[in-house]
Structure 1
Amino acid sequence: MESRPLRYFVAVAEELNFTRAAERLGISAPPLSRAIRALEAELGAVLFERTTHSVALTPAGTVLLEQARIALDALDAAGHRARRAVEPKLVLAVKADSGGGLLEGILAGYAADPAAVPIGVRLCGWGEQASLVRRGEADAALVHEPFDHTGLDAETVAVEPCVAALPVGHPLAAREAVAVAELGLPFSAPVSAAELHRFQVGIVERHGIRDLSQILALVELGELVTLLPVSVGERYPRPGVAYVPVPDAPPAVLRIVWPRESRSRAVAALVRAAAGRRD
């Protein structure tokens, strides 16, 4: 099986529309349809249920989509890693302001390890870290739970409580602690880490958030109440934001992740340095 038909299939499966998938791929719809039918013939399985008004994945298509993404990520990663092997250097992916103040210590600990090689830090956006590792564009990443663990190993770097970020004029801002249920957020206690993650992703998408400073600015303006790791409040005090402990919120768990198949001594040294920062 070649990669091009798989890329065509993934585009159609994600768009569930042949015309949009063809535009995304830069080809016309008829050859795309022919390629999908040829793939179905090769596999001996129908991948899409097609009507004049809709396209839906069959059970076989659902399985292939999961496996095709893994296969294509692995193929892309092989190319990226081969190109980067010309000049050995480790790349650590980190979202700005998400390292809990530990990044500098991790890098210092890594540099002292005999297996260390030169390292670069790649700053990235929300939710990009794990996919950069899977694609071979980074050797490791610091990422908060929850995230897609497919193809990755992980070690815990830090576990810390969450605080509510409130505008200073908020009725709860002067409290010593608040409960999740008091914050008026779209979930009730006990809230799971997955629910909190979906809420935070929704904030990012609705407001076009690119970094932490934008979130804190929205809090100051009274546009937003959210939960953040306690280290954010310690490292980013703002006159218009009150950080209040939320004892029943799920903790923020920071992990270092790397490719499951990695046998790199340098990556192992970086993992040791990161895991060694845990209290």
Structure 2
Amino acid sequence: METRELRYFVAVAEELHFGRAATRLGMAQPPLSRAIRQLERRLGVTLLDRTSRAVSLTAAGSVLLREARAALDAVDAAGRRTRRAALAASGEPGLVLVMKAGTSGELLPRLLDAYAAEPDAVTVEVLLCGIGEQERLLRDGRADVALLHRPFDSASGFDSEELRTEQQVAVLPVGHPLAGRAELRVAEVAALADLPLPRWPRHDGSYPEGPGPQVRDHAQLYQLIALGRAVAVLPESCRVHLRDDLTTVPVTDAPAVTTVIAWPPQSRSRALAALVRTATRLSYGDAGHPAPEPGLVPV
């Protein structure tokens, strides 16, 4: 299969309309239809059920849509990483680190300061993203390294090192009846009628979600909590930059959150290896353990 054919198929499968897909691709509809039929003949399967009124995916088409997206993402990522490697070889700036806006508290400044002190440090561009976007940006090559938070984020398919584990807290408006409690449980937070849990952009059941407003980032979430429109259960490091009109209460039965630094397994960047070693050294120091010997951090 050619990447051109896969792009054609993904457009049709997402639009479920040959006319709209042709417009999206900037081509006429007849050659698009012929290309899809040729792809079906080559694979020996029917990818799309077509009637005079509608287009729908078959079971085989659904599988190809998922695999084609992954393949096209990999091709695009290969191009981006190749261009970034050429820039690095020419002496132009270095690493792109992606993280959720409003997370990791004091960890990121400490990491950047410690890495900048390394003799061969390169410039680190920090890319702040919305909730659940770091994995995609790392997978598609727009970032070299990411700070992820399990169980919220998946590090599957990446190499990674654990940096720290922390408990979670409920974030409440100052003055709320529960704000004075010494501790809470997840069920108590979820049962709040006046402060619903928010809906997240991507939800896999690894953390509580409720009927409240959908949130894009932590700045929006904190604003909604301050207005009395939502409550949230977040890692305790959120206290570092918490607004004055918000407070926190420990949630004793919420799952612990582990911050990891993650990168593509095929990376051979010396600058990235140095950044990972710096992050690991800081995490070992915070835990009171000696740092690993040089070369033991896999990059």
TM tier, smaller? 0.7 to 0.9
Q: Is the 8 A contact 1:155 1:257 kept in 2?
A: yes
Structure 1 residues 41-80: aligned runs within 5 Å: 41-80=41-80
User: For residues 60 and 101 of structure 1, do their structure 2 counterparts lie closer, same or farther at Cα, with a shift above 3 Å needed?
Assistant: same
- 1:248, CA displacement in angstroms? 0.8
User: For residues 158 and 13 of structure 1, do their structure 2 counterparts lie closer, same or farther at Cα, with a shift above 3 Å needed?
Assistant: farther
Aligned twin of 1:222: 228
Q: Is the 8 A contact 2:46 2:61 kept in 1?
A: yes
CA distance in 2, matches of 1:30, 1:238: 61
Q: Which amino acid aligns with 2:259?
A: L
User: For residues 46 and 113 of structure 1, do their structure 2 counterparts lie closer, same or farther at Cα, with a shift above 3 Å needed?
Assistant: farther
Q: Does 1:260 align with 2:270?
A: no
Q: Is there any run of 5+ residues in structure 1 with no aligned partner, and where?
A: 188-192
- 1:100, CA displacement in angstroms? 3.1
Structure 1 residues 12-51: aligned runs within 5 Å: 12-51=12-51
TM-score scaled to structure 2, two decimals? 0.78
Q: Is the 8 A contact 1:157 1:276 kept in 2?
A: no
TM-score scaled to structure 1, two decimals? 0.83
Task: Give the one of 256, 261, 282 matched to 1:277.
Answer: 282
Aligned twin of 2:8: 8
User: For residues 261 and 85 of structure 1, do their structure 2 counterparts lie closer, same or farther at Cα, with a shift above 3 Å needed?
Assistant: closer
CA distance in 2, matches of 1:62, 1:261: 29
Aligned twin of 1:164: 170
Q: Does 1:212 align with 2:218?
A: yes
CA distance in 1, matches of 2:207, 2:28: 38
- 1:51, CA displacement in angstroms? 4.0
Q: Does 1:231 align with 2:250?
A: no
| Bigger mean CA deviation after superposition, 151-160 or 44-53 | 44-53
Aligned twin of 1:117: 122
Aligned twin of 2:82: 82
Q: Which amino acid aligns with 2:45?
A: A
Q: Which amino acid aligns with 1:141?
A: A
SS of match in other structure, 2:75: helix
Q: Which amino acid aligns with 2:99?
A: V
SS of match in other structure, 1:117: coil
Q: Is the 8 A contact 1:18 1:32 kept in 2?
A: yes
CA distance in 2, matches of 1:13, 1:59: 12
Structure ID, larger Rg = 2
Q: Count the aligned residue pairs.
A: 269
User: For residues 154 and 21 of structure 1, do their structure 2 counterparts lie closer, same or farther at Cα, with a shift above 3 Å needed?
Assistant: farther
Q: Which amino acid aligns with 2:73?
A: D
Aligned twin of 1:199: 209
Aligned twin of 1:190: none
Q: Is the 8 A contact 1:115 1:265 kept in 2?
A: no
Give the RMSD, CA atoms, in angstroms.
2.8
User: For residues 198 and 28 of structure 1, do their structure 2 counterparts lie closer, same or farther at Cα, with a shift above 3 Å needed?
Assistant: farther
CA distance in 1, matches of 2:167, 2:20: 44
SS of match in other structure, 1:181: helix
User: For residues 66 and 277 of structure 1, do their structure 2 counterparts lie closer, same or farther at Cα, with a shift above 3 Å needed?
Assistant: farther
Q: Which amino acid aligns with 1:274?
A: A
1:127-186: CA deviations, max 9, x gaps? 222212222111111122333545422222222111111122322121111111112358
1:51-103: CA deviations, max 9, x gaps? 45554433332332332222211211122122223331111112222223211
| Bigger mean CA deviation after superposition, 71-80 or 140-149 | 140-149
Query: Could you list the runs of 4 or more consecutive aligned residues of structure 1 that deviate by over 6 angstroms after TM superposition?
Result: none
CA distance in 1, matches of 2:154, 2:206: 15
CA distance in 2, matches of 1:18, 1:10: 11
Structure 1 residues 95-134: aligned runs within 5 Å: 95-113=100-118, 116-134=121-139
Q: Is there any run of 5+ residues in structure 2 with no aligned partner, and where?
A: 89-93, 198-202, 288-299
SS of match in other structure, 1:155: strand
